[in-house]
Structure 1
Amino acid sequence: MRVEQLVTSGTFSLDGGTWEVDNNVWLLGDDREVLVIDAAHDASAIAAAVGDRRVSAIVCTHAHDDHVNAAPELAALTGAPVLLHPDDEVLWKLAHQSATPGGRLANGQLLRVGGSAAHVLHTPGHAPGAVCLYVPELGVLFSGDTLFKGGPGATGRSYSDFPTIISSISGTLLTLPGETVVHTGHGEDTSIGAEAPQLEDWIRRGH
């Protein structure tokens, strides 16, 4: 089992604004099959990184358009289902008028790949259906936009809520081992241990 990173570039649009963004696309698997985590911007580049491996699923950490805009095309290229937490269907519909996800994510669900399993953690706040994937065997967490190096994901736009994201981080993510490596949706990696001491400061700044 290994983790591979691909950075793709495009735009994020919500609430009437559009911003240029670089997204981390993560591949979790082995030489035979992979999970794709967040199919952002460029389905062809993601398919090239996958190569001849089977894609067991395309997992959406949430449905902001920069994280799902390449998901239907990648699904068509690979035959893999797109998995999304149902609480984020409202955001999915903003990005895709006709395409629909192929399956649902739920808290506590296990996604098996390459002889291992990723644990789905529902972590609302940045988006109502935001999830993280925890792989204890590798000591890694894929946090989407819930947790970054230096703080929680943004909560200033529609369908987001600051107290909710703080609850998700403190009650779920910060209970993981401190050495857990956090692979984020944008930017650099961090760790649970590096972020945990800053919780009270985040709360003060958020208020």
Structure 2
Amino acid sequence: MSARLDHATTSGTFSLDGETHEVDNNVWVLGDDEQCVVFDAPHDVSTVRDLVGERECVGILLTHAHDDHVRMAPELSEALEAPILLNPADREVWQLTHGDLPWDGDVTDGDMFTIAGVDLEALHTPGHSPGSTCYYVAELGAVFSGDTLFQGGPGATGRSFSSRETIEQSVRERLFALPEDTVVHTGHGPDTTIGAEKEAARGEWL
């Protein structure tokens, strides 16, 4: 297995419901020396291009459509000649940033992608947004959680299109069903593990 994970952080803003906040986003690129996929398209196309290098990017997998994760998606797609893939349940959220501009392909629960000899499984985990989707890579013992799960618990749900009850159900039923040693690569902040977050949730909301 030749798969490797490249990481960087970009800085910019997140805007929703009339508020704008400064945020740092993780950029994750999974692949080998020939091909890769990119998770999300935050803030800075050049940073993502540097991580991709000369490799063929076969897809930009969006974990959800909040503007700090998708604002640069059309420009990044053009730069990398790669399709933008999004769960269509996030259509209204996408339209807040990009209007009627379409993305390239839909991602639905259970969809499988193969890159660098490893399989990625799309897990629909609504709550932070209606179409929030995590990507589980069993061979690497890792899940890319977007803003569904962080070190310290589920993502924020105090804004439009979000639901605390729904995100807790998604994490409980989909992510906490993964092996406890699974590493969680988040959309913001440090990595964590399924086991650590499950333990922290006990007695709180689990």
- TM-score bin (small chain): over 0.9
Residues 202, 161 of structure 1: CA spacing in aligned structure 2 closer, same or farther, 3 A cutoff?
Answer: farther
- Residue 197 of structure 1, CA deviation: 1.6
- Residue 201 of structure 1, CA deviation: 4.1
> Which residue does the alignment assign to 1:163?
165
TM-score of the superposed pair, with normalisation by structure 2: 0.96
- Residue 62 of structure 1, CA deviation: 0.2
- 5 Å-filtered alignment, 1:1-207, equals 1-203=3-205
Residue identity opposite 1:190 in structure 2:
T
Residue identity opposite 2:10 in structure 1:
T
- Residue ranges of structure 1 left out of the alignment (5+ in a row): none
Residue identity opposite 2:196 in structure 1:
A
Residues 202, 186 of structure 1: CA spacing in aligned structure 2 closer, same or farther, 3 A cutoff?
Answer: farther
Question: 8 Å contact 2:7–2:51 — kept in the other structure?
Answer: no
- Residue 3 of structure 1, CA deviation: 1.1
Alpha-carbon deviations, 1:90-123, whole Å to 9, x = none? 0101011253210000100001111211100000
- Residue 76 of structure 1, CA deviation: 0.4
Question: 8 Å contact 1:55–1:78 — kept in the other structure?
Answer: yes
Question: 8 Å contact 1:151–1:202 — kept in the other structure?
Answer: no
2:140 aligned counterpart, secondary structure = coil
1:128 aligned counterpart, secondary structure = coil
Alignment: residue pair count: 204
Q: Distance in 1 between matches of 2:203 and 2:152?
A: 11
- Residue ranges of structure 2 left out of the alignment (5+ in a row): none
Residue identity opposite 1:9 in structure 2:
S
Structure 1 runs of 4+ with >6 Å offset: none
Residue identity opposite 2:199 in structure 1:
P
Q: Distance in 2 between matches of 1:200 and 1:100?
A: 41
Q: Distance in 2 between matches of 1:98 and 1:135?
A: 32
Residue identity opposite 1:97 in structure 2:
G
Alpha-carbon deviations, 1:125-144, whole Å to 9, x = none? 00000000000000000000
